[in-house]
Structure 1
Amino acid sequence: MKQINVDNLIAESKFGPFQFMILFWCCLIVIFDGYDFVIFASVVPVLMEEWGLSPLQVGAIGSYTLFGTMIGTLFFGPLADKIGRKKVITTCVIIFSVFTSMLWFSNSPTSFGILRFIAGLGLGGLLPNVVAITTDYAPKNLRTILVTIVTSAYNLGGVLSAGIAIWLLPVFGWKVLFLVGIIPLLFVPIMYKSLPDSPSYLLASNQKDKLANALRRTNPSYLPGKNDQFVIPNNEKSAIPFVNLFTNRRAMTTLLFWFAMAMGLLLVYGLNTWLPKLMEMGGFPLGSSLLFLLLFNFGAIFGSVIGGWLADKWNGRKVVMLFSIIASIFFVLLSFKSHFLILYLLIFIAGATATGANQVGTGYISQYYPGSMRSTAVGWAIGMGRVGAVLGPTLGGILLSMNLPFKFNFLILAIPGVIVAITYLLIKGSSDTASKNMKDLNPSVSQDPVITND
């Protein structure tokens, strides 16, 4: 009888076809997630004119979606740790795909807001679970960069939405842009058959044959045996996974993660909602203003991937702090009116570092906690962060309603980055503490730290 350390087996694996398949599906899902949200920013100027909406009303509609995503994140994250990530991911794809495409039938701000709220429930459940399943099967030396590749697919969706809006919006109107949301529904049967469930769930639900098969595909050097005994170090179990976020000296760090995520998402979601309108008020035409949104999200893709690579090579926490400070500096620089080419460069770098800090932080959180609570941890961090995401569009609407000088808007945008950097500076510990506590309880089991780069 062999005792198989599941974490070690996965950590020592190489990136192969199985991990690529997981990465492909997760990226595809998140691309449509990003498309769905950012397309709203692209149609904001048209909706304001067609329905006679004020900035405050548009900010409220944007917040309805984010409020739905917050509820979905908080609900579906812990649910996935209980019933499996695959079922939850599939359910969430169906919800957001169906209700996004139904916006074709919306003819009033009320129906638009209700449909966006329900679609948001599905959107909210996707990100924590695709981040968790990516981390579950990632090789040790690629965990952060694979997570940031997945999360940066959100920004690729944003780039696609801005580009498609520039192309289709003047010709076909805003409704056709939401029909794209039906596409993920077509892939659900294949995706459900392809994606694995997390090792911790398969072990807890006694699906050892499926676990052995997943491990063999993850690390081909493993040859399953009939009597193999699987062990997952630090696999903390609880009837309520949420409780474990505050055990083993994790309480203060959990709260700091939540606060930092809220500040980061406040900035990113606020900009994704209001950047075109902000630049339009600064004297740029609509087409040029949409290009700013495209560059912001295009920069975010590069920043997320580079940040993930740096985090795996260096230190995830320090990358978040560095990127947050750089983002704040570039928002200050944006407050000075410059040549439009310089502004394009500045917004590209600001998008790269502001969003990159957020994505690297998500990857850091996903590795901080054991696999048995990973969806819960990431879900609640993103979910509490959605408080900032909900406030972002609303606060942006308030700022625009105040008719402040152009430069003051960007000076205000520099503040959240500084707060995120200070918050991560206060996170002194790592999951090594939790690992040591578990090892003290059971010294016969070899324990590896959950986070390996801090």
Structure 2
Amino acid sequence: MRTLDVPALLDGARFNAFHARLMFWCALIIVFDGYDLVIYGVVLPALMPVWGLSALEAGLLGSCALVGMMLGALFFGPLSDRIGRRRTIMTCVILFSGFTVLNGFAQTPGQFAACRFIAGLGIGGVMPNVVALMNEYAPKRMRGTLVAIMFSGYSVGGMLSAGLGMLLIPQWGWQAVFFVAVVPLLLLPPLVRQLPESINFLVREGRLEQARGVLRQALPEQRVEPDDRLTISAGQDSKASVAQLFHEGRTLNTLMLWMAFFCCLLMVYALSSWLPKLMNAAGYGLNSSLAFLLVLNFGAIFGAIGGGWLGDRIGLGRVLLLFFVMGALSLSLLALKSPLVVLYLLIGIAGASTIGTQILANACTVQYYPAHIRSTGLGWAFGIGRIGAIIGPLLGGALHAAALPLQVSFLAFAAPGVVGALAILVFLWQQSARSVRQVAMAPADGQ
């Protein structure tokens, strides 16, 4: 009988069909997760005149999904560490897809808000779980890249939402784009069959034969026998709790990650919710305004994949610091009057360094926390960050209602990038100080 160290084996695995299949399904979930989220910014210019919404009312309506996302992340993140990622992901897909479809039947702002809130629960809950699941199985040497590629599905979903908005809204009305969200419900049966459960969860729960089966798929070159003993890292057999995010010297870094998420999500949702409307108010037609949203999400794909590749080489923390600085700079430059080509370029860079930054922050967070509290850590970072996401649309609505120049809005959206950069700087300093302490203690441990 052998003893197999499961995390070490998964870290050293070669990328194979199992990883490709897992990345496909997780990315597909994130595509429609992003579609369902960005959809509000797409329909907002058409929705405001239909229901006679003021800018502040539109901002408040946009925040309904984000309040749901905050609660969903806080609830479903820790829950999955207790009941399993697979079951939690399925529940969240049904919530966000089903209630986004129902949004298309809303007759009043109240009905619309209720559907957006419940869909937000699923959107907020699914994100930390698919990121944690992908991170768990991805080979260590390419983990940042694979998680970034998978989560760039969010930007693909945003582009899909904007593109279908340009095609469907003029002819079929704003409701049409919500009905597209039925696709994940149709794909649920194969998703149930093919999405694996967290192997750390299976080992903790004593479902060892099922864990061995998953391990054989992830490591086809490794002969896993029925009597092999599976182990996970020390401490990972304990139940997850929020308090553990602050144990073992993690307090300051946990708080800095929360601050970074808050700032990044404020920038992301302020832009996603108000960019089409701001550009429409600046004199661009509806389709041109939606094209800016397309460019924003297109830039995010390059930022996420390029940042993930760079993060695997120099560290995700350093890349996050660089991206926060780029985000603040690009949004500040949008406050200047520029030729259309330069404007598109700056919006693309803004997408890479805001949405792309959030994608990299997800990967950084799941790599920072041990496996047994990974969804709890990411779920709470998302949950606290959602406060910034809620403030974002409200801030955009308040600035638009005040009839301030377009430049003021972009400068206000850039300010959180500076604060986020400072938070990551403290995070890196703390990581460096901890590494120095571990090196200093090593000789004493060996005596």
Instruction: State TM-score, norm by structure 2.
Output: 0.95
Q: Letter of the aligned partner of 1:78 in structure 2?
A: P
Contact 2:240 2:376 in 1 (8 A): no
- Paired residue total: 441
Aligned to 1:236: 236
Q: Give the CA deviation at 1:238.
A: 4.2
Aligned mates of 1:322, 1:272 — CA distance in 2: 22
Tell me, yes or no, if the aligned pair for 1:84 and 1:201 is still in contact at 8 Å. Answer: yes
Contact 1:261 1:381 in 2 (8 A): yes
Counterpart Cα distance in 2 of 1:213 and 1:237 = 20
The answer on whether the counterparts of 2:262 and 2:386 sit within 8 Å (CA) in structure 1 is yes
1:159 and 1:60 map into 2 onto residues whose CA distance is 24
Letter paired with 1:127: M
Q: Report the Cα offset of residue 432 of structure 1.
A: 11
| Distance across 2 between alignment mates of 1:48 and 1:354 | 26
Secondary structure of 1:230 counterpart: strand
Alignment correspondent of 2:184: 184
Alignment of 1:283-294 (within 5 A): 283-294=283-294
Partner in structure 2 of residue 202 of structure 1? 202
CA distance in 2, matches of 1:235, 1:203: 13
Q: Which residue does the alignment assign to 1:346?
A: 346
Q: CA deviation at 1:436?
A: 6.6
CA deviations on 1:389-448 (whole Å, 9 max, x unpaired) are: 0111011101111111122221222211111111000012449969979x99xx99xxxx
Query: Which residue number in structure 2 is paired with residue 80 of structure 1?
Result: 80
In the alignment, structure 1 residue 226 sits paired with structure 2 residue 226: yes
Q: CA deviation at 1:240?
A: 4.5
Query: Which whole-Å CA distance do the structure 1 matches of 2:235 and 2:180 have between them?
Result: 40
Structure 1 vs Structure 2 CA RMSD = 1.9
- After superposition, the Cα gap between the structure-2 partners of 1:228 and 1:430, relative to the gap in structure 1 and judged at 3 Å, is farther
C-alpha distance after superposition, 1:200-221 (max 9, x if no partner): 1010111111211212211222
Which residue of structure 2 lines up, in the alignment, with residue 258 of structure 1? 258
**Residue deviations 1:108-159, cap 9 Å, x none?**
1000000110111111111000000000100011111111112211111000
Partner of 1:4, secondary structure, is: strand
**Deviation per CA, 1:321-360, whole angstroms, max 9, x where unpaired?**
1011112111121111111121111101111112222211
Structure 1 residue 75: Cα displacement? 0.4
2:13 aligned residue: 13
Other-structure match for 1:447: none
Match of 1:175 in 2: 175
- The corresponding residue for 1:451 is none
In structure 2, C-alpha distance between the alignment counterparts of 1:322 and 1:103, rounded to whole Å: 38
Q: Return the offset for 1:239.
A: 4.1
2:193 aligns with 193
For the Cα contact (< 8 Å) 1:308–1:360, is it kept in 2? yes
SS at match of 1:225: coil
Compared CA separation, residues 245 and 116, structure 1 to 2 (3 A): same
**Structure 2 unaligned runs (5+)?**
none
Displacement of 1:224 after TM fit? 1.1
Q: Match of 1:418, as an amino acid? A: V
> In structure 2, how many angstroms separate the alpha carbons of the residues matched to 1:53 and 1:237?
52
Q: Distance in 1 between matches of 2:138 and 2:395?
A: 38
1:220 is paired with a residue whose SS is coil
Listed as ranges, the matches of 1:46-195 within 5 Å are: 46-195=46-195
TM-score (ref. length: structure 1): 0.94
Q: What is the distance in 1 between the residues matched to 2:434 and 2:220?
A: 32
Is the contact made by 1:96 and 1:119 (CA closer than 8 Å) also made in structure 2? yes
Offset from partner CA, 1:8-46 (integer Å, 9 cap, x none)? 100110111001111011000010011111111111011
- Following the alignment from structure 2 to structure 1, what is the Cα–Cα distance between the partners of residues 239 and 370? 15
Residue 235 of structure 1: CA displacement?
A: 3.6
Q: Distance in 2 between matches of 1:271 and 1:226?
A: 53
CA deviation digits over 1:40-83, x for unaligned, max 9? 11110111100000011111111110000111111000110001
Q: Deviations over 1:213-252 (max 9, x none)?
A: 2122112221112321212124435445212111101011
Distance 1:62 1:28 in 2: 24
Per-residue CA distance 1:169-228 (angstroms, 9 max, x = gap): 100001111001111011112111111111210101111112112122112221112321
Matched-pair identity in %: 44
Q: Tell whether the 8 Å contact from 1:335 to 1:407 is kept in structure 2 after alignment.
A: yes
Does the 8 Å CA contact 1:234/1:370 hold for their aligned counterparts?
no
| Whole-angstrom distance in 1 between the partners of 2:41 and 2:226 | 55
